[in-house]
Amino acid sequence: MKSCTLTLKCEKEMDCPKEVVMWNYYDHEHLVGTHFKLYYKARVLAERDDWALVYREPKIPGIPISNSGLALQYMEGDVMKTFHKDWLGFLLEMEVHFKDLPNDRSLITVIYKMNVPQFYKIFEPIFKWAFRNWFEAAWIEDEPMRLRRWKVYKLGFKDFYGIDYINKRLPKSEKTEVPKYKFNPPIASFSTINKTEGMERPFSKSFELGYND
Ligand SMILES: [Fe+2]
């Protein structure tokens, strides 16, 4: 059967280094927290270094039926490759290209591709509309999280430890040199996301998530 590839490219700049954004893509818990409007449930089935196989139950905007699928993600240099397979049988291939810009900024380019029978070509405008909406909705929710991570990292924040001078009730350090942020997957977690039960979204409604600063 003749096939064709539906494609969409989305691009945005971030006010933080690319490694912070990479961390965000590997912080699987935030799927049901930050993106509680987009996901019902997530479970990490297997994870090693930058390879992760994740079960997700996304809520597709405008479609009142539940969905579920598997996604494999891994890094090739500065590109994260992801393969999503949902219960409808479609295979969505996503690439996220990370590029650092001057002044601790970055350019993030996301390319969505879906190989389908030629007949489906007429649905490409809907494909582009749906995935652009998804990209924009997720970006709006991710952006404050990334900026907050970068902000607290510059203050000396370490996972599961906090900020040293605050923990020790010391005056704020005058040190201005910030070591390069290092993305070092897998991301440590103490939650149930790696266990059989996975993680469900903790709420269905919330006014902001504490990202109001
Ligand atoms: Fe996200």
* pLDDT per position as a tens digit, 155-182: 888 888 888 877 888 877 776 788 899 9
Burial class (CB in 10 A: 0-12, 13-18, 19+), 119: exposed
Cis geometry, peptide bond prior to residue 61 (ω within 30 degrees of 0): no
All structural domains of the chain = 3-196 (3.30.530.20)
Place of tokens 């997530």: 42
Cα–Cα distance measured from residue 17 to residue 104, given in angstroms and rounded to the nearest whole number: 5
**Token code pair at residue 211:** 């990202």
* pLDDT per position as a tens digit, 199-209: 988 777 765 55
Cα 113 to middle of ligand 1, angstroms = 19
Cα 51 to middle of ligand 1, angstroms = 17
Cα 103 to middle of ligand 1, angstroms = 23
* pLDDT per position as a tens digit, 46-79: 999 999 999 999 887 666 677 889 999 999 999 9
**Token code pair at residue 71:** 């996604």
Q: Can you count the helices (H) and strands (E) in the chain?
A: 3, 10
Cα 83 to middle of ligand 1, angstroms = 16
* pLDDT per position as a tens digit, 145-154: 999 999 999 9
Cα 95 to middle of ligand 1, angstroms = 14
Average pLDDT over residues 98-127: 96
Q: How many CB atoms lie within 10 A of CB 174?
A: 5
